[in-house]
Amino acid sequence: MDDEQLIAGNVAAAMPSPLDTPTVSGEDDDYRSETSSETHDHGYIGSGGFVGVKRYRQPPAASSYSNHRDLSLRLRRAAVGVIGSESSNGGGTGGLTAFAEGLIGADVVLCVAAGKKRDGARRFHAHRFMLAASSEPFRAMLTGRMREASERDVEIRGVEPSVVEKMLIFIYTGDVTVDLESVVGLLIAAEMYELEALREICKSFVLYHAHEVFRDPQIVELPEKLLLEIIEHDELQIREIPLLEALVGWGQARVDSSDRTPVVDILGDVMEHVRFGTMSVSDLYGKVRPLVRDGIVRESLLTEALFHHLKWGTPSGRASQRMKPRALAAALRKRKRVSFIQHVSFHDERPNADE
């Protein structure tokens, strides 16, 4: 007999027989058997070969739960003042004043003037720790050695009040409503205050509504860094000619009359991302060539696109990217091809065999 069998036999001998110990089964026993605090008997061998029984209590069960939506709604009610069904409007304030004076625990006031006006600035009450935890620029401004760290009223420049309101709602609740009227200003603010999630939301909106966004006069306010990130993307939903016209307007708005920097130099890096090779030959001669004569577009870009149509040479690097159609152009070409095939098949009138 091995050791394991010997131990099992000794433990069994030490345990009382079910026949010797009367038991009564009831609801309490059934309940205790199902709970996490039930006890278990374990046999052991003590010194001198003594066999005993120890009773151990199993630790109670534990589960972790998260309810971020409830937290978001509570923050919204406290900071934004939206209650009940009004909270489903995607970040709006339901007609109430967001971040008003009665905000509990607010220790900083953001003063935001509309445009260049200094009078009648809107005041947004907020919490330093919320702003600092969400944005490194806010952290440096409100908790570092800057003057604003010791002041209750902090002036915010370069951002419209409506944009600041949307930005604060996003910081507190994670909700935002993006539209054509606010997307450019919101994207600039997200870049300025390093709100990466908000930045990506706005950037995606611009990509998929580019044909409308680039017609907005506000597009000239977009920093070059953000503009380059957008126009280099394959998913940009706009044709190249409207994009080219919008970029020319963007460059002309940046011409500094004091140093008279040529617009061709301002647009140098920007025009590198225009897909000239995907334009038709008629557009290259009718739309692009006049811009070359006016010193807005480099002649090398026009020549490169014409060579591509003539199939002279093989472009590489960024030049090859300029010959690649964007997703929108590729989809339109495929749609035209399908329409043409359908047109032919639907109207293919073959002569009668009897004729």
Can you give 301-319 as a three-state secondary structure string?
HHHHHHHHHCCCCCCCCHH
Q: In this predicted model, what pLDDT tens digit does every residue of 259-272 receive, in sequence order? A: 677 888 889 899 99
pLDDT in tens, 120-148: 789 999 999 999 999 999 999 999 888 88
Q: What is the CATH number of the domain that holds 147?
A: 3.30.710
Chain segment 177-215, per-residue pLDDT in tens? 999 999 999 999 999 999 999 999 999 999 999 999 999
Number of domains in the chain: 1
Helix, strand, coil content of the chain in percent (nearest 5)? 50, 10, 40
Asked whether residue 275 is assigned to any structural domain, the reply reads no
Inside any domain, residue 295: no
Beginning with the edge strand found earlier in the chain, give each strand of the sheet holding 122-126 in spatial order.
122-126, 108-112, 153-156
Higher pLDDT, 223 or 55: 223
Return the structure tokens found at 49: 């070969």
**pLDDT recorded at residue 40:** 55
Kindly report the pTM of this predicted structure.
0.69
3-class SS at 104? Answer: coil
Confirm if 174 and 72 have CB atoms less than 8 A apart. Answer: yes
Distance, in Å, from the CA atom of 40 to the CA atom of 186, rounded to the nearest integer, reads 62
**Full residue range of the structural domain in which residue 142 is found:** 74-157
Query: What tokens were used for 28?
Result: 């309490």
- The answer as to whether 80 is a domain residue is yes
Task: Report yes or no on 112 lying in a domain.
Answer: yes
Residue 184 lies in a domain: no
In a domain, 124, yes or no: yes
Return the higher-pLDDT residue of 79 and 330. Answer: 79
Highest averaged pLDDT of the listed ranges 22-31, 143-152, 210-219, 252-261 = 210-219
Q: Which run of H or E residues covers position 354?
A: none
299-315 CB burial, b ≥16 within 10 A, e <16: eebbebbbebeeeeeeb
Buried b (16+ CB within 10 A) or exposed e, 37-53: eeeeeebeeeeeeebee
